[in-house]
Amino acid sequence: MFRRLFGGDDRKTEQPEEQPPIEDTATNAEHAPTAEQPRPQARLFASVDALDVEAQRIAEAEAAAARRREQSGLRRLFGGQERTEQEIQREVAKTTAAVQKTRSTGMFGRISDMFKVDQLITPELWEELEELMIAGDVGVDTTLTVIERIQTEVERNNIYKASDARALLKRELVQLLQVDQPQFSEQTTKPYVMLVIGVNGAGKTTLIAKLANRYKQEMGKDVLLGAADTFRAAAVEQLQTWAERIQVPVIAQGQGADPGAVAFDALQATNARNADVLIIDTAGRLQAKYNLMKELEKIKNIVSKRVPEAPHEVLLVIDATTGQNGISQAKAFMEAANVTHLALTKLDSSAKGGVAFAMVQEIKRPIKYIGTGEKLDDVAVFDPEAFVDALFED
């Protein structure tokens, strides 16, 4: 009988399902989406010719290197700002280094090896591939989907060598990570307001410090932090300690304060000081907690009311060691706060962050940053091609 009392999911009734986050971006000339820079046509892994894979691979590698030199994914993400050759290379090196750790021990290293051996495609190969992907937290569903797709392609194109399937796998994996997300320009949007959210212990505060540092040091922005994690013991102090190190002001009210009020204050201060970027830290919350997710909605609404179109970026932070629960996190945070981007932290660990494939697919939002260590500059802009490319580099 009690079942009669169960209500439906009222979140659904309150929130329209499909609500593109920053729709007006496209129509607002001022906030021209930076993601619209044309992609270089030398698409990696675009076509696979069974007889010419090796030659193509070399050409690809060269094209990729050239592309990196002249463009790299960074410009797309940092508002078309010109970056020096050095900066770009450092960036790529960082991604590569972080990923290399994954490679040497992890699944991609082995997948790479597996396909390198000049063997024929056998049922065992698929099985092994499946196992490796699952071991990398890619998840059963995604793994099976990817493998099925490659199998179809392999059949259609009469591919019989394992090494040829490799390029297909790469392409497939890159595609899984590529979703278009219009975004506000960090250069021209002022103030650029970011809301950083995630479960407990994902690494939000540390990432915020890194990003603040980056905005300040590398982009010359005037950054302000909002300490809206008023719940966890000493969370405010944690942010303040970082802020002192990087010399940016923090707006805080201390533990127990209303996070919405802190966000409001921080927005006031941002306007008063004419700051360029405001990053709001929020308390970690498990997505199953109704009240806490509602609180997040409330914080977001306060921000939107104060600054039209804000928050310009809602960054969901995910620990790379997370398993399949990542998917549930993505869904729930999407529903509560309309996530615009993901950030993958602790990628310097031995974990592969494979659940990111499923998460990106689930909410159709791209990964923007990766955290690669505990130091302030251990952050890199995520680029699907560079990422998967590095995973497969010889």
Partner 1 sequence: MFESLSDRLQNTFSRLGARGRLGEADVDEALKEVRRALLEADVNFKVVKDFVGRVREQAIGENITKSLSPAQMVVKIVNDELIHLLGDEAVPLASAQPSPTIILLVGLNGAGKTTMAGKLGLFLRKKHRNPLLVACDVYRPAAIKQLETLGKQIQVPVHSEGTQVSPVTIARNGIAEARKNGHGVVILDTAGRLQIDEALMQELEEIRAATNPHETLLVVDAMIGQESVRVAEEFNRRVPLSGFVMTKIDGDARGGAALSIRQVTGVPIKFLGTSEKVDGLQPFDPPRLASRILGMGDVLTLIERAEENIDKEEAAKMQKKMQKGKFDFEDFLSAMKQMRRLGPLQQILGMLPGMSQLKLDEHINEDDLKHIEAIIQSMTLEERRNPDIIKQSRKERIARGSGSELEDVNELLKQFREMQRMMKGMMGMMPGAGSGRPAPTNNKGGSGKKGKSKKKKARAPQLPGARPGMPGFGPQAGLGPNSSPSDIESMLRNMRKDQ
Binding interface with partner 1 (CB under 8 A): 1-13, 101, 131, 134-137, 139-140, 199-203, 231-235, 237-238, 240-242, 255, 286-291, 319, 321-329, 331, 346, 348-352, 354-355, 374
The CA distance from 181 to 85, in Å, is: 26
Which is closer to partner 1, CB of 242 or CB of 264?
242
Q: Closer CB to partner 1, residue 32 or residue 376?
A: 376
Nearer to partner 1, 158 or 291 (CB): 291
Smallest gap, in angstroms, from Cβ of residue 382 to partner 1? 19
Torsion sign over Cα 129, 135, 139, 140: positive
Which positions ≥6 away from 135 have C-beta within 8 Å? 107
CB nearer partner 1, residue 364 or residue 375: 375
Least distance (Å) between residue 281 CB and partner 1: 12
d(CA 177, CA 15): 26
The strand pairing partners of 197, in sequence order, are 316
> In the bound complex, what is the minimum distance in angstroms from residue 27's beta carbon to partner 1?
30
How far is 360 from 69, CA to CA, in rounded Å?
27
**C-alpha dist (Å) from residue 135 to 111, 138, 143, 323, 371:** 11, 7, 10, 10, 21
- Quote the radius of gyration of the chain (alpha carbons, Å): 22
Cβ contacts of 358 within 8 Å, gap of 6 or more: 138, 139, 141, 142, 324, 326, 327
DSSP structure string for 85-140: HHHHHHHHHHHHHHHHHHHHHSHHHHHHHHHHS--B--HHHHHHHHHHHHHTT--H
Identify which of residues 378 and 385 has a Cβ nearer to partner 1 in the complex. 378
Cβ at position 14, least distance to partner 1 in Å: 10
Yes or no: say if 282 and 195 are a contact pair by the CB < 8 Å rule. Answer: yes
CB of 308 to partner 1, least distance (A): 28
Contacts of 138 (CB under 8 A, 6+ apart): 146, 354, 355, 357, 358
**How many residues in total does the chain contain?**
394
Give all strands of the β-sheet with 223-228 in edge-to-edge order.
250-251, 223-228, 277-282, 192-198, 313-319, 341-345, 367-371, 379-381
- Is the Cβ of residue 12 or residue 364 nearer to partner 1 in the bound state? 12
Q: Shortest Cβ distance from residue 234 to partner 1 (Å)?
A: 4
Q: How far is the CB of 257 from partner 1 (least distance, A)?
A: 15
Complex with partner 1: residue 200 or 247, whichever CB lies closer: 200
Asked if 225 and 260 count as a contact pair (C-beta separation under 8 A), the reply is no
Coil, strand, or helix at residue 226? Answer: strand
What sign does the dihedral 330-108-132-54 (CA atoms) show? positive
Residue among 6 and 308 whose Cβ is closer to partner 1: 6
Contact 202, 320 (CB under 8 A): no
Tell the smallest beta-carbon distance from residue 287 to partner 1 (Å).
Answer: 7
Q: Please state, in angstroms and rounded to a whole number, the distance separating the CA atoms of residues 252 and 265.
A: 8
Closer CB to partner 1, 2 or 120, in the complex: 2
Shortest distance, CB of residue 254 to partner 1, whole angstroms?
11
Q: Which of 214, 254, 130 is nearest to 206 (CA)?
A: 214
Shortest distance, position 91 Cβ to partner 1, whole Å: 22
Instruction: Give 13 or 41: the residue with its C-beta nearer to partner 1.
Output: 13
